[in-house]
């Protein structure tokens, strides 16, 4: 029973101390602009993928749209975790300099890991979309009709002036207003959610527009949560390095013992008689 089972040794996590920076540093503006650019690219790809599902069946719509949403969350989570690990690594280097009595600038310290740094970057990079979404949420209404369309049975009565005159304004599509422009921008950003509930489900789309400011915070929150995993990622790296070094030392000791045993077991040459 015990012979077939191998005991797994508990690998102790190795964590190195690091200096903590500030939530805002000299790179915050640049990082926010890069985050904004990444949002536009991701939203554009999501818009193309999800727009194609509008003409597909419900099964494809219920498969592709959640997959796109999960993909967006994963992309920003991974970006955040990579940024967090890099920031922790900077903090570890500065800690070593501090222990050795070496000097470093305050700006170098500010760019080190801080738990709120990625949330600040993500929210700042999403602010343009959030402002537009808030304005739309305050002005949106449930859309139940489409300008320029009438039931087919009404066409026969359109030749009569007393019937056609009141409907002229309805037949001519209205001018696009500010709310319509804002709706286009927000729909572009939250297309996976609009496509998921169905573009013809006006009540559900209305609630998507009402909740769009919160929906647009999902990438920023994913980025921030991923950033928080930075210390754990660095600990995993240090643990792997420590375990690799431990195995190498064990192999070297084993090899030395093997060589020592081989030398001691070597038979002595017989002494020659004079």
Boundaries of every domain in the chain: 28-143+189-247
Q: Cα 134–199–178 angle (5° rounding)?
A: 40
pTM of the predicted structure, to 2 decimals: 0.78
pLDDT tens track for 91-146: 999 999 998 888 888 988 999 999 999 999 999 999 999 999 999 999 888 876 55
pLDDT digit string, tens, across residues 239-250: 888 787 787 787
Give whole-number Cα distances, 273 to 207, 269, 270, in Å: 106, 12, 9
- Nearest CA to 119 among 231, 228, 224, 33? 224
């Amino acid at each position: 029973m015990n012979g077939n089972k191998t005991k797994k040794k508990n690998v102790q996590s190795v964590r190195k101390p690091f200096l903590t920076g500030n939530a805002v540093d000299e790179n915050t503006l640049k990082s926010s602009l890069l985050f904004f650019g990444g949002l536009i690219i991701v939203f554009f790809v999501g818009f193309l993928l999800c727009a194609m599902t509008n003409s597909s069946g419900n099964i494809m719509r219920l498969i592709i749209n959640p997959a796109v949403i999960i993909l967006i969350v994963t992309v920003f989570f991974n970006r955040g975790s990579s940024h967090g690990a890099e920031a922790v690594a900077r903090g570890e280097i500065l800690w070593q300099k501090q222990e050795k009595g070496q000097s470093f600038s305050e700006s170098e310290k500010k760019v080190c890991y801080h738990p709120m740094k990625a949330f600040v970057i993500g929210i700042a990079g999403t602010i343009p979309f959030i402002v537009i979404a808030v304005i739309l949420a305050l002005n949106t209404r449930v859309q139940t009709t489409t300008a320029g369309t009438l039931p087919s049975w009404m066409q026969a009565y359109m030749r009569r002036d007393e019937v056609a005159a009141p409907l002229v304004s309805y037949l001519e599509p209205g001018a696009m207003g500010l709310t319509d422009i804002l709706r286009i921008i927000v729909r572009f950003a939250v297309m996976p959610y609009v496509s998921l509930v169905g573009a013809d489900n006006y009540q559900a789309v209305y609630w998507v527009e009402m909740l769009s400011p919160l929906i647009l915070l999902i990438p920023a929150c994913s980025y921030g949560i991923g950033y928080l995993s930075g210390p754990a990622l660095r600990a995993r790296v240090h643990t792997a390095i420590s375990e690799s070094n431990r195995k190498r030392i064990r192999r070297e000791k084993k090899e030395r013992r093997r060589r020592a045993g081989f030398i001691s077991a070597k038979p002595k040459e017989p002494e020659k008689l004079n």
